[in-house]
Structure 1
Amino acid sequence: MAEKDLADRTALVTGSTSGIGEATAKQLAGHGAHVIVAGRRQELGDGVVAAIRAAGGKADYVRAELGDAASARELARRALAISGGQVDILVNNAGTAVFGPTAETLEEGWDTTFNTNLKGHFFLVGELAPKMAARGKGVIVNTSTMVGQFAAPGMAVYGATKAALNLLTKSWAAEFGPAGVRVNAVSPGTTRTQKVVGIMGDGLDELGKQAPLGYVADADEIANAIVFLTTDKASYITGAILNVDGGRTAV
């Protein structure tokens, strides 16, 4: 049973209706946090909330597109209303991707990927981090990716958004750290989620073998690292990009 070390905190997790976000939301609830599940698909969000409540946790769902400043501000407004005016933990996990050669990349795919992976996060932090700073504490964790740190053919747009998110992580750590707000990122390697399996198919296991540990992570292994960074056990960690990739970026 998880230690209830987040019992007095509210956590907003974007993109938490499936995959890494869902695993993170459930783990945070297991640590006692009131979790606000945010995502686009109502039926999936309701399912995550129901599972958390059935396990004795506290959760609510907010539908959010999170592709522009307006949607980010609306999500912040609704999360603050649900939580009684205080979000202690923000996990920026919502994300999308466009893959393929540069010459075949459409502007629509570029815009959607950059808006979802960067713009939404940027303006959500702009709404919530100052409120954390005013209280003198708060935690933000961004979900990045290993291909934000090294080149991979066909992943230029996706990798560029995550490389930018890594720099934003450090920038926000510098900006809000003096007021007691910690900002870090987790950089997952190959992870078995429904979405990734749908894209990679049988190639997923082969990709996992490229890491020194030689296998594909499950979502809970990534969520373990995210949740750790939200707890007081990580109290002196900020501005870090924590690689959770089976050693892939080490070789």
Structure 2
Amino acid sequence: MTSTSTALRGRTALVTGATSGIGKAIALNLARQGAEVVLHGRDQARGAALVKEIAAEGGAARFVTADLTDAEDTLRLAAEAGAVDILVSNAGLYEFAPTAATDAASFDRHIAVNTRAPFLLVGALAPGMTKRGGGAIVLVGSSAARQPAPVGAAYGASKAGAEILTRYWATEYGPCGIRVNTVSPGPVHTEGTQAMFGEHIAVLDTTNARGRAGDPAEIAEIVSFLAGPASSYVNGAVLFADGGERSALPA
């Protein structure tokens, strides 16, 4: 069960890709711990529904839509989010295809959403965190950044870029009181993975030492830990949350 506390009361968090899967679980968990959550997504109806769900639990949230493949729209999201204490860069694009079947447009989309969007958001929001005395930035990475497979090279490269940015930002902003960390999930049961694997979804439960894929709520707990005061001495870390991964997914 997702925990409830007041550890993040008085804090404002922006969560990208917040209307489904891991992002939705993160948003709900942060709200339950007292944060006011700025929800980002592309679907107005799902965003409105999540705002209502959070409000029904006694939390506070608002929704901002933005297209993270567009640099200007990404910067608009940062501006509309306002004074943010916690940034959770969760939104991700994954098109698992072999290299020869990945065209330039697909490669550029991966970089735009998975690498450039967090770069622009951090650049826009970290100065405000610095002026207010600090903050927390959490990126949601992927085991694809370190666990090669026969498909998905563009996705893996874009996530590996985000991981190295984590270390750079931890060095750049650490003296300003901003901690930057990444949680790197292995396979997780979400709407996206269900759509991708369909009737073969059970393959996700065969890839790690736990013998099962993760649940979004499990990743959300780690994000809340990295965003909150309990992790005050954690900076520049990439925390693996993969159940003890032992093999790449089959092609």
Q: Which residue of 2 aligns with 1:83?
A: none
Contact 1:13–1:21 at 8 Å: present in 2 too? yes
- The answer to whether residue 169 in structure 2 is matched with residue 167 in structure 1 is no
Shift of the alpha carbon at 1:69? 2.6
The residue number in structure 1 matching 2:27 is 25
CA RMSD of aligned residues (A): 1.4
In 2 relative to 1, CA 111–175 (structure 1 residues): closer, same or farther, beyond 3 Å? Answer: same
Q: Which amino acid aligns with 1:29?
A: A
Is the CA contact (8 Å cut-off) linking 1:98 and 1:110 kept in structure 2? Answer: no
Aligned to 2:139: 142
- 1:94 & 1:238 partners in 2: Cα distance? 21
Residues of 2 paired with 1:11 and 1:243: CA distance? 22
Q: Return the letter of the residue paired with 1:13.
A: V
Mapping of residues 38-77 of structure 1, within 5 Å: 38-77=40-79
CA positional deviation for 1:68: 3.2
TM-score by length of 2: 0.95
SS in 1 for 2:196: helix
Aligned to 1:93: 90
Q: Where does residue 197 of structure 2 map in the other structure?
A: 200
1:180 to 158, 177, 181: 177
SS of aligned partner of 1:217: coil
Structure 1 runs (4+) deviating above 4 angstroms are none
In structure 2, the residue matched to 1:113 is 110
Render the CA deviation track for 1:90-148: whole Å, top value 9, x for unaligned: 00001111211111112221111111111111111100011112222100000100011
1:250 is displaced (CA, Å) by 9.4
For 2:226, the equivalent position in structure 1 comes to 229
User: TM-score scaled by structure 1?
Assistant: 0.95
Q: For 1:232 and 1:119, how far apart are their aligned partners in 2?
A: 28
Q: Is contact 2:209-2:246 (8 Å) kept?
A: no
Which amino acid in 2 is paired with 1:41? D
Q: String of CA shifts for 1:9-29, please: whole Å, max 9, x gaps.
A: 000000001010000000000
Which consecutive residues of structure 2, in runs of 5 or more, have no partner in the other structure?
Answer: none
Q: Structure 1 residue 171: deviation in Å?
A: 0.6
Structure 1 Cα separation of the partners of residues 202 and 214 of structure 2 = 10
Superposed displacement of residue 89, structure 1: 0.2
Tell me the residue number matched to 1:241.
238
In 2: Cα distance, 1:58 partner to 1:38 partner: 14
Separation in structure 2 between the aligned mates of residue 249 and residue 138 of structure 1, nearest angstrom: 35
Distance 2:247 2:101 in 1: 31
CA contact (8 A) 2:207 2:247 kept: no
* Contact 2:11–2:86, Cα closer than 8 Å, also in 1: yes
1:102 equivalent in structure 2: 99
Instruction: Return the offset for 1:204.
Output: 2.8
Provide the rounded CA distance (Å) in 2 between the counterparts of 1:89 and 1:160.
25
Are the equivalent residues in 2 in contact too, given 1:4–1:31 (CA < 8 A)? Answer: yes
Cα distance in 1 for partners of 2:153, 2:108 equals: 13
CA distance in 1, matches of 2:42, 2:246: 31
Q: State the one-letter code of the partner of 1:157.
A: A
Match of 2:127, as an amino acid? P
State the Cα distance separating 1:208 from its structure 2 match.
Answer: 2.4
Q: Which moved more, 1:61-70 or 1:174-183?
A: 61-70
- Give the structure 1 partner of residue 8 of structure 2: 6
Q: Secondary structure at the match of 1:11?
A: strand
Alignment of 1:199-218 (within 5 A): 199-218=196-215
Distance 1:166 1:22 in 2: 22
Which amino acid in 2 is paired with 1:27? Answer: N
Gaps of 5+ in 1: 81-85
The amino acid of 1:170's aligned partner reads R
